[in-house]
Amino acid sequence: MVHYSDEDLISGLKAQSEPALSSLYKSYFPMILNFIQSNSGSYDEAKDIYQEAVILFYEKIQEGSLELSCKIKTYIYSVCRRLWLKRLSEKAKYSGGIEESEKFIAVEEDEKAEDNYENNFIHMKQAMEQLGEPCKSIIQDFYIHELNMEEIADKFGYTSADNAKNQKYKCLKRLKKLFFNKER
C-alpha cells in the first residue's frame, strides 16, 4: 500500500484517484474498528461507520468545503466517534459514558508517535540527501524500488551480488551514522 501524506491524499481525492481512496480506506480503519468494538460495536458496524465517515470526508473534499485544522487521522476519528455515539443513542445503548479514556489516550499517544514518525521521516530524508551517490540510489533501489542484489549489481557495475550487498551494508552504516549523529 502506498503511504500518502495528508496533502497528497487530499490532492489525490480531489483528482478522484482510486489509489488515494483505497489508501484512505486502509489507513485508519483498524483504529476505528478498535474504538467501535471497545464500545459495544461489531466489525460490520465499524465498517458502516467508517464507510459513512469516508464518504462524508470525500464529499467535503469534492465540494471544496473542507477546512482541515488537524491531521486526516484525527478528523476521521472524530467523525466516526460522533457517528458512533449517535448510533448508540439511537439504539438506546448509550448510558452516559463510553469506554474511551484509555483508548482516547492511546489515540493521543498514537498521534505523538505519528508526529515522531514524521519527524524521523524528515530527518531520514535529510540524511539520505547528505548520503550522496551511489549510496542513495542503492538504498532506494533495494528498499523502495525492491530490486534484488543481482539487479543492483548489474545496474551499478559490481562484479557480483555479494559485492553489491557489501556496498549496501557500507551505505547503510553511513546512513545510520548520519541519521543518529545529527542533532534533532
- Predicted TM-score (pTM) of this structure: 0.48
Cis (ω within 30 of 0) for the bond into 19?
Answer: no
Q: Please check whether the domain covering 1-99 is classified as CATH 1.10.1740.
A: yes
- pLDDT > 60? residue 183: no
The Cα–Cα gap between 14 and 72 comes to 14
The Cα–Cα gap between 109 and 31 comes to 13
Q: In the predicted model, what is the mean pLDDT of residues 79-107?
A: 65
To the nearest 10 degrees (0 to 180), the angle between helices 72-90 and 6-14 is: 70
- pLDDT > 70? residue 93: no
140-157 residue pLDDT tens:
888 878 888 899 889 888
Domain ranges of the chain: 1-99, 121-184
